[in-house]
Chain A
Amino acid sequence: MNLVYAFAIAAQMGCGVYLLLSRHGMRILIGIVLLSTATNLLIFVAGGLRFTAPPVIEPGLQVLAAETANALPQALILTAIVIGFALVSFAAALMLKTYRSVGSVLTSDHVDAEALGSPFDREAPRNA
């Protein structure tokens, strides 16, 4: 069963990286979503998939019954999902703003800072 999950995660992660490597802002956004989902799933599977009963203590019991899912990775992932969502929202806003001010979502067009040159270039006459 791990085999299938592992390769599903590989596919998801690979697609995410592939999109992140594109020079296109919109595709990069989608890549971020894919990569964070894949990472969450990775943590989940690494936490063990032996039992599928939700980790909830039955009424009347003091401790969790045996043969329930591992609660710890779930708690971690819950936080990660929300943070990931915040990241995607911010990246989307950033992309929108960049498009409005630069007029392109292609990273090759985002060169305003580089056009200013290296700080060393201006110091060069002093050192020479």
Chain B
Amino acid sequence: MADGSQSVTFLALILPFLAAAIAPALTRVFKHNAAWVLALAPLFLVVHFFGYLGDVADGRTVTGGYSWIPSLGVDFAWFIDGLSLTFALLISGIGTLIVLYAGGYLKGHEQQGRFFSFILMFMGAMQGLVLSDSFMMLFVFWELTSITSFLLIGFDHAREASRRAAIQALVVTGLGGLSLLAGLLVIWAATGQGTLSGLLATGDALRAAPFYLLALVLVLGGAFTKSAQFPFHFWLPNAMEAPTPVSAYLHSATMVKAGVYLLMRLNPVLGETVWWETILPVFGGTTLIVGTLLAIRQTDLKLMLAYTTVASLGLLVMLTGFGSEIAIEAAVLYLVAHSMFKGALFMVAGLIDHEAGTRDVRRLGGLRSAMPITFAAALLAALSMGGLPPFFGFLAKEEIYAALNFSGGWNGVFTVVAIVGNALMLVIGFAVALKPFLGAAVETPKHAHEGPVLLWLGPLTLAVVGLVAAVFSGVSHHYVSEPMAAAVAGAPVEIYISVVPHASLALLLSLVTIALGIAIYLLLDRARDAMAGVLAAIGWGPDRGFDQVIRGLIRLADAVTGVIQNGRLEVYMVVTFVMIAIAVWTPMLVFDELPSMPSVPDLTFYEWTVFAIAIIGLGAVVYAADRLTAIVSLGIQGFAVALLFLLLGAPDLSFTQFMVETLSVVILALVMTRLRLHPSDHRPTPEKLLDMTIAGACGLGFALLLLKVTQIPFDATLSEFFSTYSYVIAHGRNIVNVIIVDFRGLDTLGEIAVVMITGLAILALIRIRVPRTSKQPEAAS
């Protein structure tokens, strides 16, 4: 790639973040009309990525990037093929419409600028996610989408439901993100590839690797949480607490598809195994059925749509899992179709809410004359969702049924699953698009009329694009669907499906689906009541389970803290020293690094004397009957150490030790005279023995460690440096002093500061007056 194009793509990657930075200021000046300006950022991305369509359709990929953390082999690099390009276009295209829609939806909202900022940040993160080449970059953007999603769900942070939903989404997708990170690291270790482009070139290496299953499960942990697969689906409906532009953008069109993106991206290297072709269809199929059944139960337009989103994600995962070429084509077509019709329907739901004041489907009706444009958009989107010709959803569904013919052993089961799921989705689509508009006019909380252009532009555009892309399916297949399917399949593919119905088994299944859907639609109220009854009978769900887990976690943390941080000094001490003893002993024992026994040395008379003084002093310290004796003995053994320093060529140390030891004894004796103390040791004998054992283990451990240290070759580099340069550079002959005041002068400054601060602290401690509590001293001080 030419350098110019490289920097434009880099600009495209950071442009949403730049727009996010100026959004609040811009909104302060232009109010809601700032949307028109801010929408230019994603529009620029659309135009930029359109430029790649030709190249990518010809089977080329676009790569580029900059060095980021060379020491870890991590680059800031992007990789654009059919899959990432389609996602990028969806993100920027729908993003443009969403920014405009948010301008109308949150018109007059105090925090509209903040909202723009968050949603543009999300756009940047999502864009980065699908364009990333390096694993680390992918992971960073992946987590960034979770964080921006948290901010957007909790946008209305004054309400507790919002805060709960935001935290829930963050916990579920955040944990999934960690799982993904672990998975990517396993893949990295197994194949030696840290980039997607590199990994895709490895062929069967990953499937043959011994850690294949571990990598698969970890990656699925990330993908299934992000794409709300059962049983992790519960966070997505709760995320409907967010303002509707967020639901339309993050929680139907883009972010929740990140998991599907990941599966599609890794299909060429992780797929086509028994595990892949079992786990994905089973979880996907379950999610499809659970999602649609739960959607039937809802009366809130947004919740109905949210559960069908869960179902659709299940369908996508199921299709990706089949792994056949035609299933991949179906998944690709359905993903594109879903992004458009679901985004449009969410925006319609928000429009109805905005204009009529309610989203309860039972309290809406007859809006067709009041909101004709909205009705048109809703109808077009719903027909696509229902899979009727000549809409894009029709292409997707025909392809899905064609794919089921090739899915092998469990063919029948998955066919039934797909028919029921699609029929129920058609029901929900019509319920959202038709119920509020048809029938007799119902009194709504607000007097409904058509919304402003900012609000209907988005849904109408998406719905119309869904129609146009289907009618001109040759063009859309060539530039979008085929390159994307080729990237997923890992080989070139051709898609033939068009809006002209042709007699086949797929068409027959379509007709069954539509008939079933219309039948259920007519019985919707009864079906809803039945579902409500079933759910009430079950009573427990993952949503409540989440709360129980969080509560349990807090209790566990409390209990663990109570044990570890129990406020008893002796427990802390025992734990600390036991750990130290273990840390010292374990390496020596495990790695068999015990020192060899040195010969008993030949010491001079005066050295023995000094040792004797030290040991006698020590014994006296520990066993002294009264405190004064102990303190004086402490001084004796301290002086013995000072003598040792003197004998071993460290006069400076010796002098300091004498001074400090004297002062310590004086201070301790001063403190002593102010306290009347209990007789020496009050511990019961078993405790004494335990403490002795710990102390012995520590002491002996360090003795052995020291012996080992002295037995390995001594690295004198630093010592020689100081010996050589002390006089030449620092003009001092006493090397110890030169090190202290010159080479490590800053260190000494810190030391002086410590001593000074300690002095001030002591002064403050002595001066401060603390009210006496429990026991009074037996003698006045």
Interface residue ranges, A against B (CB under 8 Å): 1-24, 26-30, 33-34, 37-38, 40-42, 44-49, 51-59, 61-64, 68-72, 74-75, 77-79, 81-90, 92-97, 99-114, 118, 120, 127
Whether the pair B664, A21 counts as a contact (CB closer than 8 A) is no
Residue among B621, B762, B773 making CB contact with A102, cutoff 8 Å = B773
B 646-664 binary contact with A (CB < 8 Å = 1; else 0):
0111111100110010011
Residue among B598, B695, B736, B773 making CB contact with A14, cutoff 8 Å = B695
Given contacts A33-B634, A64-B723, A78-B740, contact A27 B681 (CB under 8 A): yes
**B710 close to A (CB within 8 Å):** yes
**Bound Cα distance A108, B567 (Å):** 10
Whether the pair B649, A69 counts as a contact (CB closer than 8 A) is yes
Whether the pair B700, A92 counts as a contact (CB closer than 8 A) is no
Whether the pair B775, A109 counts as a contact (CB closer than 8 A) is yes
**Bound Cα distance A97, B771 (Å):** 11
Residue among B615, B677, B736 making CB contact with A26, cutoff 8 Å = B677
Residue numbers in B under 8 Å from A28 (CB-CB): 569
Known: A33-B668, A77-B650, A103-B774. 12 other contacts (CB 8 A): A4-B607, A10-B700, A11-B618, A16-B695, A17-B694, A23-B570, A42-B702, A78-B652, A82-B751, A86-B755, A99-B674, A102-B772
Whether the pair B645, A44 counts as a contact (CB closer than 8 A) is yes
9-residue interface stretch from B32-40, B125-133, B189-197, B726-734:
B726-734
Given contacts A18-B695, A64-B723, A103-B777, contact A96 B675 (CB under 8 A): yes
- A-B pairs with the 3 shortest C-beta distances? A14-B699, A69-B649, A103-B775
Q: How far is the CB of B413 from chain A (nearest CB, A)?
A: 43
Given contacts A1-B603, A23-B683, contact A93 B766 (CB under 8 A): yes
**B67 close to A (CB within 8 Å):** no
Q: How far is the CB of A68 from chain B (nearest CB, A)?
A: 7
**B204 close to A (CB within 8 Å):** no
**Bound Cα distance A71, B634 (Å):** 27
Residue numbers in A under 8 Å from B660 (CB-CB): 81-82, 84-85
**Bound Cα distance A48, B713 (Å):** 10
Nearest-CB residue, chain B, relative to A48: B714
Residue numbers in B under 8 Å from A3 (CB-CB): 598-601, 707
**B229 close to A (CB within 8 Å):** no
B 766-781 binary contact with A (CB < 8 Å = 1; else 0):
1010111111111001
A selection of 24 A-B contacts at a CB cut-off of 8 Å is: A2-B601, A6-B707, A15-B622, A18-B695, A19-B622, A21-B573, A51-B649, A55-B723, A56-B734, A63-B727, A64-B726, A79-B748, A81-B653, A81-B656, A86-B754, A86-B755, A86-B759, A99-B674, A100-B770, A100-B777, A106-B682, A108-B570, A118-B562, A127-B551
**B630 close to A (CB within 8 Å):** yes
**Bound Cα distance A72, B652 (Å):** 12
Whether the pair A22, B691 counts as a contact (CB closer than 8 A) is yes
**B706 close to A (CB within 8 Å):** yes
**B582 close to A (CB within 8 Å):** no
9-residue interface stretch from B291-299, B478-486, B504-512, B636-644:
B636-644
**Bound Cα distance A75, B736 (Å):** 5
Residue numbers in B under 8 Å from A58 (CB-CB): 733
Whether the pair B736, A4 counts as a contact (CB closer than 8 A) is no
Residue among A7, A13, A24, A82 making CB contact with B698, cutoff 8 Å = A13
**Bound Cα distance A102, B778 (Å):** 11
Number of interchain pairs (Cβ within 8 Å)? 313
Residue numbers in B under 8 Å from A11 (CB-CB): 615, 618, 699
Given contacts A24-B682, A114-B566, contact A86 B740 (CB under 8 A): no
**Bound Cα distance A21, B689 (Å):** 11
Residue numbers in A under 8 Å from B567 (CB-CB): 111, 113-114
**Bound Cα distance A50, B427 (Å):** 90
**Bound Cα distance A102, B614 (Å):** 35
Nearest-CB residue, chain A, relative to B624: A30
**Bound Cα distance A78, B734 (Å):** 14
Whether the pair A97, B768 counts as a contact (CB closer than 8 A) is yes
**B709 close to A (CB within 8 Å):** yes
Residue numbers in B under 8 Å from A97 (CB-CB): 765-766, 768, 770
**B667 close to A (CB within 8 Å):** yes
**Bound Cα distance A13, B768 (Å):** 34
Given contacts A23-B570, A57-B735, contact A95 B726 (CB under 8 A): no
Q: How far is the CB of A33 from chain B (nearest CB, A)?
A: 6
Residue among A18, A68, A78, A112 making CB contact with B773, cutoff 8 Å = A112
Residue numbers in A under 8 Å from B602 (CB-CB): 1
Residue numbers in A under 8 Å from B744 (CB-CB): 75
Whether the pair B650, A95 counts as a contact (CB closer than 8 A) is no
**Chain B positions 49-93 with a Cβ under 8 Å from a chain A Cβ:** none
Whether the pair B703, A6 counts as a contact (CB closer than 8 A) is yes
**Bound Cα distance A81, B250 (Å):** 61
Residue numbers in A under 8 Å from B709 (CB-CB): 46
**B685 close to A (CB within 8 Å):** no
**Bound Cα distance A55, B611 (Å):** 24
**B724 close to A (CB within 8 Å):** yes
Residue among B664, B740, B759, B775 making CB contact with A104, cutoff 8 Å = B775
Whether the pair A17, B611 counts as a contact (CB closer than 8 A) is no
Q: How far is the CB of B37 from chain A (nearest CB, A)?
A: 45
**Bound Cα distance A42, B602 (Å):** 20
Residue numbers in A under 8 Å from B551 (CB-CB): 127
**Bound Cα distance A22, B704 (Å):** 25
Task: Pick the most buried of A62, A89, A102: most chain B CB atoms within 10 A of its CB.
Answer: A89
Task: Pick the most buried of B663, B680, B707: most chain A CB atoms within 10 A of its CB.
Answer: B707
Whether the pair B675, A99 counts as a contact (CB closer than 8 A) is yes
Residue among A7, A17, A30, A81 making CB contact with B621, cutoff 8 Å = A30
Residue numbers in B under 8 Å from A44 (CB-CB): 645, 648, 650, 653
Nearest-CB residue, chain B, relative to A32: B664
**Bound Cα distance A6, B765 (Å):** 38
**Bound Cα distance A55, B577 (Å):** 36
Residue numbers in A under 8 Å from B677 (CB-CB): 24, 26, 105
Whether the pair A78, B736 counts as a contact (CB closer than 8 A) is yes
**Bound Cα distance A26, B601 (Å):** 37
Residue numbers in A under 8 Å from B719 (CB-CB): 47, 70-72
